[in-house]
Amino acid sequence: MTNMRPPNKTTLLKVVILGDGGVGKSCLMNRFVSNRYDENNFHTIGVEFMNKDIDVDGEKYTLQIWDTAGQERFRALRTPFYRGSDVCLLCYAIDDYDSFRGLKQWRQEFLHYADVNADKFPFIVVGNKNDMAHHCRQVPYDEVKQWCDQNNINCQIETSSKTATNVTDAFVLAVRQWKHMERIAEIELKQNDTIDLTKTIKLAHNRFCCTGGGGGSSAASTNADSEDESMNIVSPKRFGRRQQQQQKASSTQFQL
């Protein structure tokens, strides 16, 4: 996940939008990408995606936004696209409490098929349709925040695809959260690769034969001492042969 891109290069991020059918996922994507809103938008069949270039904090990004079908019958079509995602937007409608309750299942489904670490992946909780009248609200903001805290999700926002309220802000928040997770990953990677040169290295006191399996320190030590002594002692066979040669030489000289 580390960002090793050169300066002035665009980073490509895959963003997946999940949530029940009818919460406004497609409207959210269309409003952000093309600034259009269709109140009679049909339900997504399978998976759709669009690209959008965006500048966040002076850096360029291309967001590849995947809009998934919220109906259960399309589950087999959408789950293969979870892998390789960089950010996930969990969407609910503030006038539909059941859609908020379904975020738990959506999050579990994504974690299972995307195969990512739940505590190190950037989730953004988006409450859509905040243009509704106050008496139509079914999901309290404080309850959403409590749920986010319980699931270690740091980012939540309410949007309106109809009025374009906070739509761009939601995707900017997603990019910033991704950058934040990237920094944490880089720090952890550096810490794991760091070698502490201040620690002393303990050398083994015992020696082991290169062909042995470490069968006892005393035996290994005795063998080692024997080897050390053998370095300074001439082999009896060699010594005897040399002595015989000397005797033979001396006897030969005596005869002469």
pLDDT at 190: 82
Phi/psi-derived region of residue 232, left when phi > 0, alpha when psi is between -120 and 50, beta in every other case = alpha
**Range scoring the smallest mean pLDDT among 137-141, 159-163, 192-196:** 192-196
CB 55 within 8 A of CB 67: no
The whole-angstrom separation of Cα 52 and Cα 55 is 10
Answer with the residue of higher pLDDT: 212 or 106.
Answer: 106
How far is residue 38 from each of residues 35, 61, 127, measured CA to CA in Å? 10, 26, 18
Q: For residue 49, with 0-12 CB atoms within 10 Å meaning exposed, 13-18 middle and 19 or more buried, which class applies?
A: middle
pLDDT at 81: 84
Answer with the residue of higher pLDDT: 22 or 211.
Answer: 22
Q: How confident is the model at residue 209 (pLDDT cuts 50, 70, 90)?
A: very low
User: How is residue 41 written in tokens?
Assistant: 């938008």
Q: Which long-range contacts (CB under 8 A, 24 or more apart) does 75-84 make?
A: 75/109, 77/46, 77/47, 78/46, 78/47, 79/109, 79/113, 80/113, 81/16, 81/47, 82/16, 82/109, 82/110, 82/113, 82/114, 83/113, 83/114, 83/115, 84/14, 84/114
| pTM of the entire predicted model | 0.69
pLDDT at 37: 85
pLDDT at 251: 47
Q: For residue 160, give the DSSP letter.
A: B
pLDDT at 236: 46
The whole-angstrom separation of Cα 250 and Cα 243 is 10
Q: What is the pLDDT of residues 67-125, one digit of tens each?
A: 887 555 556 676 788 899 999 999 999 999 999 999 999 999 999 999 999 988 999 99
Arithmetic mean of pLDDT over the chain: 78
Q: For residue 24, with 0-12 CB atoms within 10 Å meaning exposed, 13-18 middle and 19 or more buried, which class applies?
A: buried
- CB contact set of 69 (below 8 Å; sequence gap of 6+): 21, 43, 44, 45, 46, 47, 77, 78
* Residue 39 CB coordination number (10 Å): 7
Whether the pLDDT of residue 241 is over 80: the answer is no
Report, in angstroms and rounded to the nearest whole number, the Rg of the chain calculated over CA atoms: 36
The whole-angstrom separation of Cα 138 and Cα 144 is 11
pLDDT at 79: 75
Q: What is the pLDDT of residues 29-80, one digit of tens each?
A: 999 999 998 776 655 555 788 999 999 999 999 999 998 875 555 566 767 8
